[in-house]
Structure 1
Amino acid sequence: MKKLCLCFAIVAVFLKRESFAQETEDLRPNIVYILVDDLGWADVGWNNKGLESTPFMDKLVKNGTQFTQMYSSHRCSPSRAMALTGRYAFRSGMGSFPIAREVPFGMNTQDKTLPEYLKEVGYDTHAVGKWHLGVCNSSYLPTSRGFDTFYGHYSGAVDYRGHFIKRSKNFYHDFFDNTIEQHKLDLESDGQWTTDLFRDRTIDILKEAKRSKTPAYVYLAFNAPHEPTRAPADLIARILEKHPNLPYTRAEHLAAVNQIDTAVRQIYQQAKKDVKRETLIVFMSDNGGAVKKFGGGRSPDNTGHEYDDEESLPRACNYPFKGFKNSLFEGGILSPSFLISTARKFSRTRFNFPFHIIDWAPTFLDFAGIVPDADFDGISRKSELESRWIKSQRTNFVYGVLDFYNEKKNIWEDQIAVRFGKWKFMNFNMAVNTFKCDEHENQPVTVSRNMQDFLNVPTSYWERNFHNSITVAEPYTKKTLYDGFSLYNLENDPFELDNLIDPISGNPEAYNEIIEEIMKFIEEQKSKGHVLPPIPGDENGKLYTRVFQKMGPVFGYQFFKKKLFTGNFSGAANAYYKTKRIVPLDIGGFYTKKGFVGSDWCTGDFYDEEEAKFLEVESSKK
Structure 2
Amino acid sequence: MRPIYYLGLLLLWLTACQGHKTESSSTTSDDRPPNVIVILTDDQGWGDLSFNGNRNFETPNLDRLARESIVFDNFYVQPVCSPTRAELLTGRYFTSLGVFDTSAGGERMDSEVPTIADYFNNAGYATAAFGKWHNGMQAPYHPNARGFEEFYGFASGHWGNYFSPILEHNGEVVRGEGYLADDLTTHAISYIENHQEEPFLLYLALNTPHSPMQVPDSYWEKFRDRELRQRYAGDEPEDENFTRAALAMVSNIDDNVGRVVAQLETLELAENTIVVYLSDNGPNGWRYNGGMRGKKGSTDEGGVRSPCFIRWKGNLPAGKRLDHIASALDLFPTLANLTGLDTGRLSELDGRNIAPLLHGESQDWQDHLIFNHWNGKTSIRSQDFRLDEQGRLYEIRSDRGQLTKVNTRYPEIEAQLQAARDLWTENTLGQGVKDRPYTLGHPDYSFTHLPARDGSGFGAISRSNKYPNDSFFMGWAGLGDSIVWDVNVLEEGDFEVDLYATVKPDDVGAVIQLTHGENQVSAVLDTPHDPPLQGMNRDRVPRIESYTKEFKAFQLGTIHLEAGRDSMVLKALEVPGKGVADVRLLVFRRK
Please report the TM-score for the alignment, with normalisation by the length of structure 1: 0.65
Cα distance in 2 for residues equivalent to 1:578 and 1:385 = 45
**Aligned match for 2:551, one of 582, 585, 594:** 582
* 1:163 shift after superposition: 5.6
For 1:138, the equivalent position in structure 2 comes to 139
Name the CA shift for 1:241/1:275 in 2 (closer, same or farther; >3 Å). Answer: same
Cα distance in 2 for residues equivalent to 1:349 and 1:579 = 45
Cα distance in 2 for residues equivalent to 1:83 and 1:128 = 15
Q: CA RMSD in A?
A: 4.0
Name the CA shift for 1:236/1:606 in 2 (closer, same or farther; >3 Å). Answer: same
Name the CA shift for 1:70/1:546 in 2 (closer, same or farther; >3 Å). Answer: farther
Are 1:50 and 2:23 an aligned pair? no
Name the CA shift for 1:227/1:49 in 2 (closer, same or farther; >3 Å). Answer: closer
Contact 1:37 1:287 in 2 (8 A): yes
For 2:188, the equivalent position in structure 1 comes to 202
For 1:326, the equivalent position in structure 2 comes to 297
Contact 1:348 1:385 in 2 (8 A): no
* 1:93 shift after superposition: 2.7
Contact 2:85 2:135 in 1 (8 A): yes
Contact 2:385 2:395 in 1 (8 A): yes
Paired letter, 2:396 = L
Are 1:562 and 2:506 an aligned pair? no
- In structure 2, runs of 5+ residues without a counterpart are 1-26, 230-238, 440-452, 464-472, 474-480, 488-496, 503-528, 540-545, 572-591
Three-state SS of the structure 2 residue aligned to 1:42 is coil
Contact 2:393 2:405 in 1 (8 A): yes
Name the CA shift for 1:57/1:570 in 2 (closer, same or farther; >3 Å). Answer: farther
Cα distance in 2 for residues equivalent to 1:335 and 1:599 = 46
* 1:124 shift after superposition: 0.5
Name the CA shift for 1:28/1:57 in 2 (closer, same or farther; >3 Å). Answer: same
Contact 2:70 2:311 in 1 (8 A): yes
Cα distance in 2 for residues equivalent to 1:25 and 1:69 = 34
Paired letter, 2:352 = I
For residues 219-368 of structure 1, the aligned pairs below 5 Å read: 219-240=203-224, 243=227, 247-275=240-268, 278-291=272-285, 316-346=287-317, 349-368=320-339
* 1:275 shift after superposition: 3.0
For 1:28, the equivalent position in structure 2 comes to 33
For 1:306, the equivalent position in structure 2 comes to none
**Aligned match for 1:184, one of 158, 172, 184:** 172
Give deviations 1:544-593, integer Å, cap 9, x for gaps. x999899754777579952436699999595999994536799xx9xxxx
For 2:386, the equivalent position in structure 1 comes to 424
Give deviations 1:76-96, integer Å, cap 9, x for gaps. 1000000000001011231x4
Paired letter, 2:289 = N
Name the CA shift for 1:204/1:493 in 2 (closer, same or farther; >3 Å). Answer: same
**Aligned match for 1:62, one of 60, 63, 67:** 67
For 1:149, the equivalent position in structure 2 comes to 150
* 1:238 shift after superposition: 1.8
For residues 438-517 of structure 1, the aligned pairs below 5 Å read: 485-501=391-407, 507=408, 511-517=410-416
* 1:263 shift after superposition: 0.6
Contact 1:35 1:220 in 2 (8 A): yes
Contact 1:116 1:145 in 2 (8 A): yes
Cα distance in 2 for residues equivalent to 1:283 and 1:541 = 32
Give percent identity, aligned residues only: 23
Cα distance in 2 for residues equivalent to 1:120 and 1:267 = 25
* 1:106 shift after superposition: 1.4
Give deviations 1:374-409, integer Å, cap 9, x for gaps. 111111111211226546444212122x3x5xxxxx
Name the CA shift for 1:399/1:117 in 2 (closer, same or farther; >3 Å). Answer: same
For residues 99-110 of structure 1, the aligned pairs below 5 Å read: 100=103, 102-103=104-105, 106-110=108-112
For 2:130, the equivalent position in structure 1 comes to 128
Cα distance in 2 for residues equivalent to 1:229 and 1:344 = 38
Three-state SS of the structure 2 residue aligned to 1:158 is coil
* 1:521 shift after superposition: 2.4
Name the CA shift for 1:237/1:541 in 2 (closer, same or farther; >3 Å). Answer: closer
Determine which structure has the larger strand proportion and give its number.
2
For 2:377, the equivalent position in structure 1 comes to 415
Name the CA shift for 1:418/1:492 in 2 (closer, same or farther; >3 Å). Answer: same
- In structure 1, runs of 5+ residues without a counterpart are 1-21, 165-172, 293-315, 405-413, 430-484, 502-506, 590-595, 612-622
Paired letter, 1:319 = G
* 1:52 shift after superposition: 2.0
Name the CA shift for 1:336/1:115 in 2 (closer, same or farther; >3 Å). Answer: same
Cα distance in 2 for residues equivalent to 1:518 and 1:64 = 32
For 1:454, the equivalent position in structure 2 comes to none
Three-state SS of the structure 1 residue aligned to 2:50 is coil
Name the CA shift for 1:377/1:567 in 2 (closer, same or farther; >3 Å). Answer: farther
Contact 1:38 1:285 in 2 (8 A): yes
Cα distance in 2 for residues equivalent to 1:599 and 1:236 = 52
Determine which structure has the larger helix proportion and give its number.
1
Three-state SS of the structure 2 residue aligned to 1:159 is coil
Paired letter, 2:173 = L
Contact 2:68 2:319 in 1 (8 A): no
**Aligned match for 1:377, one of 350, 365, 384:** 350
Name the CA shift for 1:424/1:585 in 2 (closer, same or farther; >3 Å). Answer: farther
* 1:540 shift after superposition: 7.0
Higher mean displacement: 239-248 or 60-69: 239-248
Paired letter, 1:288 = G
Contact 1:423 1:490 in 2 (8 A): yes
Cα distance in 2 for residues equivalent to 1:570 and 1:541 = 28
- The aligned length equals 458
Contact 1:53 1:257 in 2 (8 A): no
Paired letter, 1:359 = D
Contact 2:37 2:275 in 1 (8 A): yes
Contact 1:279 1:343 in 2 (8 A): no
Cα distance in 1 for residues equivalent to 2:377 and 2:53 = 31
Name the CA shift for 1:60/1:608 in 2 (closer, same or farther; >3 Å). Answer: closer
Cα distance in 2 for residues equivalent to 1:489 and 1:597 = 62
Cα distance in 1 for residues equivalent to 2:106 and 2:362 = 48
Cα distance in 1 for residues equivalent to 2:261 and 2:310 = 12
For 2:118, the equivalent position in structure 1 comes to 116
Paired letter, 2:131 = G
Name the CA shift for 1:118/1:393 in 2 (closer, same or farther; >3 Å). Answer: farther
